[in-house]
Structure 1
Amino acid sequence: MNPRLLLFIAFLLLQTQAFAQATIRGKVLDEKGLPLPGANIQLKGSYDGATSSQDGSYQFETSARDAQVLVFKFLGFKTQELAITIAQGSNEVQPIELIEAITEMNSVTISAGAMEASDASKSVILKPLDIVTTPSAMGDIMGAFQTLPGTSTVGNDGRLFVRGGDASEVGIYIDGMRVGNAYGTTAGNVPTRTRFNPNLFKGTFFSTGGYSAEYGQALSSALALNTKDLSKRSQGDLSLMTIGGGYSHTLANEKQSITASANYFNLGPYQGLIKQEVDFEKAPNGWDLEVAAQKKTGENGLLKIMARTESGGMSLWQPLPGTEKLVLVDLKNNYSYAQANWRTTLKNDWMVFTGISYSNNFDKIAYDSLIIERKSELAHIKGTAIKDFSDRLSAKFGVEHFIHPYSEKLVAEGWKRDFKDHETYLFTEWDFYLNKDLVFRGGLRGGASSVSNEKWVDPRFSIAYQLGDKGQLSFATGSFHQLPLENFRVLNTNLENAESNHLILNYLFSKEGFTFRAETFYKSYDQLVTFEGLPDDPKELATNGSGYAQGIDFFFRDRETFRNTDYWITYSFVDSKRSFNQYETQVQPSFAPKHNVSVVIKHFIVPFKSQIGASFAFNDGYSYTNPNLDNSDMNAKTKSFQNLSLSWSYLPKPNLIIHLACSNVLGRDNVFGYTYSPKTNSQGVFESIPQGQVAPRFLFLGVFLTLSKDKTANNLNNL
């Protein structure tokens, strides 16, 4: 062989051997200094690298020299790069600490008060499917939420009462926009319902206190209802019920969808068959029309528009205690609500939301010869921006403005009183994750009212800490303000905000199929409205009232132990006293029973294509004032409230659902209080009339048929 060729080959081998001598070694640790086995280490732009061993150490050889970059990767941690200089021989690299990536899946969430920002899998959440299948709810959103911790069932009202607060202390939002007059107007002892169909929503979030700084004007709670995004398919849905019927039609494609619906109800035929405790001259009746549309805009944007209009009424004879006289009460109501909102994601991790909504409620009430007209409007304009500065720090900024006109009119006398308020709010909220097990949230909300000429600031703070893989501990505190009710403000526009301060401590254990939640709380009340006289004719209105509410809630939900069975159990204890309205001393409000129990069970029987359900509600009774006992207020209590409801849902075909439900199947005579005569009879006794149920039971039968090219589609598909 040619000597020159041999010399050349030897030179190449020596060069290769020389370059192969560089060794890289080091160690990969986590933030606590503990070793991370299984991390991937690689020279950037090459295939040279290694995987860390059990003690976090790694070692590999490379032919690279001089300035290079090491890349460290490990699942669940941020990828990091380290600049190094490689020399021949052994190269010791300084230990590197990888920072854990924080995501919604692995991070702790604030569950104190079930705050709005909590992850759906770790919060007390009811989806629309839970609502329509809860036997006692009868398809009403509030009826379903009354089975959750922190709530009280007030059977002759129907609205949501939370932790010793009255129904007006719960703020209701649709897609972040405040809803004015969210409940249907009612009269006498007839419970009301929410105006909106649960099928409209993809999810709901219920806060029992300590809620986000994004929401205000609610002393106790915020209920956020989120409408569906794009509908999945085009379909028609026909419903036939014992109280009426309706039809909705959806047109959908990949970029847009629209749903239009019309409904009519009339309890007249039903009440003609089943005896009623209330003497109706004209049974509750009404109709509604609704349109909801969604459209994708650009790559990340979504525009939603919704409009609803409805009209209804009822007429009933109301007895007066101590007399044989009956007074005719006639109620007519017209209501409209519309909103549009748009959200999108911008560059640099900004997400923006803008929305506008308007509600208009008109009541015409005839009480004997007295005719009253009330009109309430609410316009809401809102904008928010969310910025993720990193996976550990994010912030929300927002501004909103309300225009709120209200008027009352005595038709025959020609008397009218009104006000028009402008309210402006600024809010911000910051989340900081110290690590995946510890999160802090701080918020600030400021507001101003043009009518009361008042300004206020509400600080709010919460913290959560992960306990093991399944448990967590949360704490929340904050201040909350709320302007007085419209019927009080129109009498005295100088009335200022009531104030409540919350303290909440929460423990949450959650794993697949199981949820356990325990929460204790304390709320203070200040500047509640007080007056002289009776609620129908208040005088000398002021904000001199105060009070408190304290207690503990327990909630357990199990979807795993029993096959095809879902059940939850709730117990709430509330100790609440307040001086408010006509009460000069602190009393237990009639709407705040101390002990509240709820049990809901749903079981699916596969061979019969059926779901059977049962729900039981109990509380220890409602306080009321009995003038025959002594001169003190709230000196008596009704017997306990009990309600057992049953339901049966049958799917004979995939597109056909038959649903039968009955409330208070045992026919318990629940009483919610008494109305007393203002004068004694000849025996010196104040005569009374019990405030009871409209009927011993309520029976509902509905048939729901879906018309679609997809023969498996039905009313439950979009829930």
Structure 2
Amino acid sequence: MKPIFSFLILFLWIQNLGFAQTNLLGKVLDGKNQPLPGVNVFLKGTFDGASTDQGGSFQFETAETGAQILVFSMMGFKSQEVVVELSGKTLEIPTLILKEEFNELNTVTISAGAMEASDEKKSVILRPLDIVTTPSAMGDIVGAFQTLPGTSTVGNDGRLFVRGGDASEVGIFIDGLRVGNAYGTTAGNVPTRTRFNPNLFKGTFFSTGGYSAEFGQALSSALALNTKDLAKRNQGDLSIMSVGGGYAHTLANEKRSLTVTGNLFDLKPYQGIIKQDFDWERAPYGRDLELAAQQKTAKGGLWKVLARTESGGMKLWQAQPGVADRGMLIHVKNTYSYAQTNWRKAYESGWSLFGGVSYSSNKDRLNFGGTEIERISQLTHAKWTASYDFSDHLAVKNGAEFFRNDYSEALTKENLERNFGDNQGYLFTEWDWYISQKFVLRSGLRVGFSALADQKWLDPRASLAYKISENGTLSLAAGRFHQLPEERFRVLNANLKNTESGHLILNYLYQKEGKTFRAEAFHKSYDHLVRFEGNPQNPQSVRNEGEGFARGFDVFFRDRESLRNTDYWITYSFVDSNRSYFQYTGQVQPDFAPKHNLSVVVKHFVPHLKSQLGLSWSFNDGLTYTDPNRPGEMNSKTGSFQNLSLSWSYLPRPNLIIHGAITNVTGHRNIFGYQFAQAPNEQGRFESMPLGQGAPRFLFLGIFFTISKDKNANNLNNL
């Protein structure tokens, strides 16, 4: 055996001489000609390679021969491949320069005026789960966003007010398509809610100003909601709540999914148990049916359909100042439909295409003390965009939009009607310039026209961001924004032009290990605001003559790391706003723009109890109003608004969730203004009554049960 063993050793030695090792060496630099340590250098398809040292140098040997591919790879830089010829000798590779790679993980992003929330973003502000578990929100999308910087809480309204702007100045979009009448119809000091459920969406984009040229017809803010893609599994979700109930059923596979949801709500049983200050003739009620479908197309695109229809109403007595009886009977009936479809696809060539169309239809039947009014609003929106990445340094998005807006209102008994119809067209372009990993510039331009107003306009917008430290970014945004007046005014004067606003925003953002700190200063100018004679219930001589400003700052801090099993955020906003608008002859602080706004939200998970406890507290320093018994306009102010809310979410089983919440635990008496009599009494004074919370507290209890083959599936999977 020994001679055979010696022969094998000799044979292997001869083989090694026949295939001599090649010694590869070289150096790698970055774009600034500085040594780049830690670069992986290897022969493609082999285990032969090495990493560069502190001087950027590498060296390794290989037995491979002939033409081979040498790969240079490092995170944050573009990989490069070099063809080499290996011949068993030392081969020195010419000095190689790796270029930086620009992507969402290693480049700075623009944060001025913008807050994003989605699974794809490193910085999560509010996810759908945050929305449904914020105690004061009671599952309402806008209710949760009222805890973010730049917003104001107007407790008797329920809509979103941003940085001194009216709620009508906030544009709401679903998958980039405008939603008409996004809030439910209400009256008589009863706050409204958004119509759509949080579990429809995978992420949100909320801008408090300086937003993209893609979004228009909004002076203050854009709230963009992005629907989910394919559902994960088949499941049924049953909900039983103190205000109603519903059921959702989802069918899904790898290529398509379909969810159908139906809900009923009726506050009559609840109002019978919990004492209210509202004088209901019929408590609010409603029903809705919703369909959401997703389909993967043959060549990698995604097609979505969303449709919703709902109806509801209420009937209540509204007390009148100086009147001893129950006051005026107000009856509200509403029917609403929304439908949209959209398609998107990203191509390997770098192009991304999107096309979609939406339709909103809202019909209100109102009866105010015997006066019957019917209002119908319809909005159609068609949109197309094309995005292209020229390189890692330059990307562009171009788009075109068309709107058709029809509105009518009628006195049904008198058979009197007034209406208008308008066609609007828009073109926009936006360019992102990634100058370096620390500096990015975005420039945009939006062009629009209105056939009814016979007006064309141009909105330039720009923003930039610079990374001043490893975790800190400084951003600046500026731009011009146009918005056509509300439908209720355009129907009175078809010649009304756009209102205008200019935005200037300076932002600092710090993010590190579950902590987010955001500070922002802003200035907004207003021109061509709507003014009229008389009062908002019967405006006369409606025209574009108002102007104003809003300025201030806000701070936001969120921490999910410092306290075990605890997530909390704190928000403070200061807004100094004055405008000449509506019936006011001079510039006044609007009655929807408190100067100081503060909110605190805390969520703590208790593992051994399978529970999450929530707390939220909101505060503002009060709202202005005009007291006709005193000289001047907006000459008075209410006391502070305060709302402490608590919640408890309990998961006794994976497919069962029990959630309870209560608002205004302390019973703080919140007053939002006063209603005054139309004429003075015998003593020459205008009698008044406070406009407060009809429900001092609101209690909610919900049980959510999921039926699925996956026993761990529950409603949280939808969030």
Decide: shared fold, TM above 0.5.
yes
In the TM superposition, residue 47 of structure 1 has moved relative to its aligned partner by: 9.0
Q: Take 2:47 and 2:601, find their aligned partners in 1: how far apart are those partners?
A: 59
Counterparts of 1:603-622 in structure 2, within 5 Å, are 603-622=604-623
2:462 is aligned with what amino acid?
F
Identify the residue that residue 488 of structure 1 maps to in structure 2: 489
Per the alignment, residue 547 of structure 1 pairs with 548
How many angstroms does 1:82 deviate by? 6.2
Give 1:678 deviation, angstroms: 2.3
Name the amino acid aligned to 1:331: V
* Structure-to-structure mapping, 1:70-109, within 5 angstroms: 72-80=72-80, 95-109=95-109
Structure 1 letter corresponding to 2:595: K
What are the Cα deviations for residues 321-348 of structure 1, in whole angstroms up to 9, with x where unaligned? 2233511111110000011111112241
- Cα distance change on mapping 1:119 and 1:431 into 2, 3 Å: farther
Match of 2:301 in 1: 301
**Structure 1 residue 468 displacement after superposition:** 2.3
CA distance in 2, matches of 1:229, 1:62: 48
Please tell me the residue identity of whatever aligns with 1:658: I
Q: In 2 relative to 1, CA 75–615 (structure 1 residues): closer, same or farther, beyond 3 Å?
A: closer
What is the distance in 1 between the residues matched to 2:67 and 2:258? 60
- Which one is further off, 677-686 or 403-412? 677-686
Change beyond 3 A, Cα 1:49–1:282: closer
Q: Which residue of 1 aligns with 2:450?
A: 449
Measured on the aligned residues, the alpha-carbon RMSD in Å equals 2.6
Structure 1 residues 50 and 560, CA gap change in structure 2 (3 angstroms): closer
How big is the shift at 1:647? 0.8
Equivalent positions of 1:204-353 (< 5 A) are: 204-325=204-325, 326-353=327-354
The farther-off stretch of 264-273 and 157-166 is: 264-273
Alpha-carbon contact 1:322-1:687 (below 8 Å) kept: yes
**Aligned twin of 2:402:** 401
Matches of 1:63 and 1:614 in 2, distance apart? 66
1:139-154 correspondence runs (5 A): 139-154=139-154
Q: CA deviation at 1:368?
A: 1.2
| Other-structure match for 1:710 | 710
> 8 Å contact 1:302–1:344 — kept in the other structure?
yes
Offset from partner CA, 1:393-424 (integer Å, 9 cap, x none): 11111111011110011111111111111111
How many angstroms apart in 1 are the aligned matches of 2:316 and 2:486?
26
Shift, 1:33, TM fit: 2.1
Q: Which residue of 2 aligns with 1:415?
A: 416
Q: CA deviation at 1:279?
A: 1.0
- For the 8 Å contact 2:78–2:99, the answer to whether it is kept is yes
Letter of the 1:448 partner, please give it: F
Contact 2:401–2:426 under 8 Å retained in 1: yes
User: What is aligned with 1:576?
Assistant: 577
Q: Residue deviations 1:601-620, cap 9 Å, x none?
A: 11111111111111100000
Secondary structure (helix, strand or coil) at the match of 2:715 reads coil
SS at the partner of 1:101?
A: coil
Change (3 A) 1:641 1:21: closer
Confirm or deny: 8 A CA contact 1:115 1:210 kept in the other structure.
Answer: no
Shift of 1:39: 2.6
Aligned residues of 1:352 and 1:384 also touching (Cα < 8 A): yes
- What residue identity is the alignment partner of 2:375? R
- Identify if the C-alpha distance between structure 1 residues 109 and 119 changes in structure 2 by more than 3 Å, giving closer, same or farther: farther
Contact 1:110 1:117 in 2 (8 A): no
Q: Give the aligned partner of residue 634 of structure 2.
A: 634
**1:431 corresponding residue in structure 2:** 432
Structure 2 CA distance for partners of 1:394 and 1:237, relative to 1, 3 Å: same
Distance of aligned partners of 1:252 and 1:87 in 2 relative to their CA distance in 1, 3 Å threshold: closer
Q: Could you say which residue in structure 1 is the equivalent of 2:132?
A: 132
C-alpha spacing 1:710/1:20, structure 2 compared with 1 (3 Å): closer
> In 2 relative to 1, CA 578–558 (structure 1 residues): closer, same or farther, beyond 3 Å?
same
Normalised by the length of structure 1, the TM-score is: 0.93
Residue 164 of structure 2: aligned partner: 164
- Kindly provide the amino acid, as one letter, of the partner of residue 392 in structure 2: D
TM-superposed CA distance for 1:84, in Å, is: 9.0
Structure 2 residue aligned with 1:9: none
Aligned to 2:155: 155
Stretches of structure 2 that go unaligned for 5 or more consecutive residues are 1-12
Instruction: Kindly provide the amino acid, as one letter, of the partner of residue 464 in structure 2.
Output: I
1:665-680 paired onto structure 2 within 5 Å: 665-680=665-680
- Give the partner amino acid of 1:606: P
Q: Give the Cα separation in 2 of the matches to 1:118 and 1:654.
A: 24
Deviation digits for residues 348-373 of structure 1 (CA, Å, limit 9, x no counterpart) = 11111111110100001111121110
Number of residue equivalences: 704
Kindly indicate whether the alpha-carbon contact (under 8 Å) linking 1:173 and 1:223 is maintained by their aligned counterparts in 2: yes
Task: Report the CA distance shift for 1:442/1:328 in structure 2 as closer, same or farther (over 3 A).
Answer: same
Q: Distance in 2 between matches of 1:337 and 1:422?
A: 19
3-state SS of 2:391 partner? coil
Of the structure 1 ranges 257-266 and 96-105, higher mean CA displacement relative to structure 2 is found in 96-105
Judge conservation of contact 1:214–1:398 (CA < 8 Å) in 2.
yes
Residue 174 of structure 1 is matched in structure 2 by 174
1:8 maps to: none
Residue range with higher mean Cα deviation, 340-349 or 214-223: 340-349
Structure 1 vs Structure 2: percent identity of aligned residues?
Answer: 64
* Alpha carbons 2:29, 2:56 under 8 Å: kept: yes
Q: Which residue of 2 aligns with 1:10?
A: none
> SS at 1:229's partner residue?
coil
Do 2:118 and 2:124's aligned partners in 1 also have CA atoms closer than 8 Å?
A: no
* Equivalent runs, 1:45-64 vs 2, <5 Å: 51-58=51-58
What letter matches 2:550 in structure 1? A
Judging changes above 3 Å, is the alpha-carbon distance between structure 1 residues 118 and 98 closer, same or farther for their aligned structure 2 residues? Answer: farther
State the Cα deviation string for residues 587-627 of structure 1 (Å, max 9, x = none).
11010000000011111111111111111000000011111
Amino acid at match of 1:54: Q
Measure, in 2, the Cα distance between the counterparts of 1:646 and 1:232.
32
Give the 3-state SS of the residue equivalent to 1:680 in structure 2: coil
Matched residue, 2:499: 498
The one-letter code sitting in structure 2 at the alignment partner of 1:517 is: R
Summarize deviations over 1:420-478 as a string: whole Å, max 9, x none: 11111111111111111111111111111110011111111111111322111111111
1:204 CA drift (Å): 1.6
2: CA distance between counterparts of 1:88 and 1:240? Answer: 77
- C-alpha change, 1:199 and 1:85, in structure 2 (3 Å) is closer
User: Mean alpha-carbon deviation: is it higher for 72-81 or for 291-300?
Assistant: 72-81
Post-superposition shift, 1:224?
0.8
Q: Which amino acid aligns with 2:286?
A: G
**In 2, are the aligned partners of 1:437 and 1:466 still within 8 Å (CA)?**
yes
The 2-side partners of 1:21 and 1:242 are apart by 78
Cα-to-partner distance string for 1:296-342 (whole Å, 9 max, x where unaligned): 11242111111111111111111222233511111110000011111
User: C-alpha separation between the residues in 2 aligned to 1:50 and 1:125?
Assistant: 41
Q: For the residues of structure 1 that align with 2:44 and 2:611, how far apart are their CA atoms?
A: 60
Secondary structure of the corresponding residue to residue 481 of structure 1: strand
Distance in 2 of aligned mates of 1:17 and 1:260:
73
User: Is the contact made by 1:122 and 1:510 (CA closer than 8 Å) also made in structure 2?
Assistant: no
Distance 1:298 1:85, change over 3 A: closer
Q: What is the TM-score with the length of structure 2 in the denominator?
A: 0.93
Say which SS state the counterpart of residue 323 (structure 1) adopts: coil
CA distance, structure 2, for counterparts of residue 65 and residue 660 of structure 1: 71
| In 1: Cα distance, 2:80 partner to 2:236 partner | 53
Q: Pick closer, same or farther for the CA change 1:118–1:137 going to 2, 3 Å.
A: closer
Q: For residues 531 and 711 of structure 1, what CA distance do their matches in structure 2 show?
A: 61
What letter is aligned with 1:160? L
